[in-house]
Amino acid sequence: MKSKAVKVGLTSLVLTMTLGFLMYTTMAEGTEYYKHVDEVAAQPEQWYGKKLQLHGFVVPDSIHRRGTLDYWFQVHTNGKVVTATYTGVVPDTFKSDSEVVLKGTLSADGFRVQPNGVMAKCPSKYEAKPGGPTATGTY
């Protein structure tokens, strides 16, 4: 009876440790921080090499192309600016002053955006036009 309890206890311990290890490694790989440019720019060294979703606004006239799909641009929030690079196709709404969320990593050279890591929105495209339909139901 005692040997059966030891076997069950050891099996439970091994399974618990294995499950804990798998959860730790999975979560460590998938951790991605959502930060604004000013938060990252305050202490950039602490964010180097970590996966980030960086939220900000494209600095006007800062978008430059280095070839067909290579982009260099700046993103800002509250007066803080980060330089970003991206290789790939950008959304149609990616332009000066557009609000963006970039997925990638920060280094001393700037923010490197991962493939398909540019999400941009254009708020004016979705706001109601003056004199248009209203929420009160009057047209």
pLDDT tens for 52-83 read 999 999 999 999 987 788 999 999 999 999 99
Question: Do residues 18 and 37 share a domain?
Answer: no
Can you give the residue range of the structural domain that contains 88?
Answer: 32-123
**Nearest CA to 107 among 54, 52, 49?**
49
63 vs 126 pLDDT, higher one: 63
Q: What residues does 107 pair with on adjacent strands? A: 110
Does residue 135 lie within any of the structural domains? no
Q: Provide the percentage of residues in the chain whose pLDDT is more than 70.
A: 83
Task: Answer whether residue 40 shows pLDDT above 80.
Answer: yes
Question: Do residues 108 and 67 share a domain?
Answer: yes
Question: Do residues 68 and 18 share a domain?
Answer: no
**Could you give the number of structural domains in the chain?**
2
Question: Do residues 60 and 14 share a domain?
Answer: no
- Contact between 38 and 78 (Cβ < 8 Å): yes
Does residue 62 lie within any of the structural domains? yes
